[in-house]
């Protein structure tokens, strides 16, 4: 099973991805987490990425795609859950191509819908409450991350709608309710495949 969790910053993709990992033994591939690991290691790639992430812009497709390629070719198990990737149309097309070469394909793209005002509140709260707050969780950078989401990331939606893979869920509910909705959609894939 291969799933993309799609949605704006602060929509709860990371939280939901972790729950799916536990429930279905999927491997979570979060490009944001991979980049933050590289920053923590102090690698050259990490240093380059940090400048871009701290502005709320997108790291180059070249870096992102090589990270993903490495992870999907070396993986066994029940499948993957992508979180924070793809983030523009070129990444979406490149993902399809990579999966195709491995004779795999995406099953489902789940969009977690939350409006901008709620996201801004959530992230400001997360920044205040967290001891090791992310350096990109502040008002100016967040607004830029939201702009990038609306300008580039959301433009992927018609691509997945055409493939009949996109489903939307309301992300302004409890974590449990959102999870239940996601699981309902996952059960549906099972039905379509069998």
Single out the residue of 84, 95, 107, 110 in contact with ligand ADP (rule: CB under 6 A).
Answer: 84
Specify the residue for token string 């979570």: 28
Instruction: Mark the segment that binds ligand ADP (CB under 6 A) among 18-26, 37-45, 51-59, 97-105.
Output: 51-59
**Which residues fall within 8 angstroms of residue 58, CB to CB, at 6 or more apart?**
52, 87, 88, 148, 152
By CB under 6 A, tell whether 65 contacts ligand ADP.
no
Query: CB-wise, 83 or 107, nearer to ligand ADP?
Result: 83
Nearest by Cα to 139 from 153, 148, 127 = 127
| Cβ pair 133, 124 in contact under 8 A | no
Nearest distance from C-beta of residue 187 to ligand ADP, angstroms: 26
CA distances (Å), origin 136, targets 5, 85, 150, 170: 21, 18, 17, 25
Is the peptide bond between 152 and the residue preceding it cis, with omega within 30 degrees of 0?
no
By CB under 6 A, tell whether 64 contacts ligand ADP.
yes
Q: Count interface residues toward ligand ADP (CB under 6 A).
A: 18
CA distances (Å), origin 95, targets 39, 83, 110: 24, 13, 16
Instruction: Mark the segment that binds ligand ADP (CB under 6 A) among 50-58, 108-116, 175-183, 185-193.
Output: 50-58
By CB under 6 A, tell whether 12 contacts ligand ADP.
no
Single out the residue of 4, 17, 50, 56 in contact with ligand ADP (rule: CB under 6 A).
Answer: 56
Instruction: Give residues 140-159 in contact with ligand ADP (rule: CB under 6 A).
Output: 145
Contacting positions for ligand ADP (CB under 6 A): 9-10, 31-32, 35, 52-53, 56-59, 64, 84-85, 87, 91, 136, 145
């Amino acid at each position: 099973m291969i799933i993309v969790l799609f949605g704006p910053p602060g929509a709860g993709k990371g939280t939901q991805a972790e729950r799916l990992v536990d429930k279905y033994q999927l491997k979570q591939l979060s490009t944001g987490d991979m980049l933050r690991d590289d920053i923590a290691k102090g690698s050259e790639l990490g240093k380059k990425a940090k400048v871009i992430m701290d502005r709320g812009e997108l790291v180059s497709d070249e870096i992102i795609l090589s990270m993903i390629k490495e992870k999907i070719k070396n993986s066994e198990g029940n499948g993957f859950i992508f979180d924070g990737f793809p983030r523009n149309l070129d990444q979406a097309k490149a993902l399809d191509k990579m999966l195709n070469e491995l004779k795999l394909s995406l099953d489902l793209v789940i969009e977690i819908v939350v409006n901008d005002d709620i996201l801004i509140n959530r992230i400001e709260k997360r920044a205040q409450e967290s001891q090791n707050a992310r350096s990109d969780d502040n008002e100016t950078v967040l607004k830029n991350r939201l702009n990038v989401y609306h300008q580039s990331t959301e433009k992927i939606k018609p691509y997945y709608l055409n493939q009949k893979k996109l489903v939307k869920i309301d992300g302004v509910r409890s974590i449990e309710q959102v999870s239940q909705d996601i699981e309902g959609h996952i059960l549906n894939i099972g039905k379509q495949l069998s």
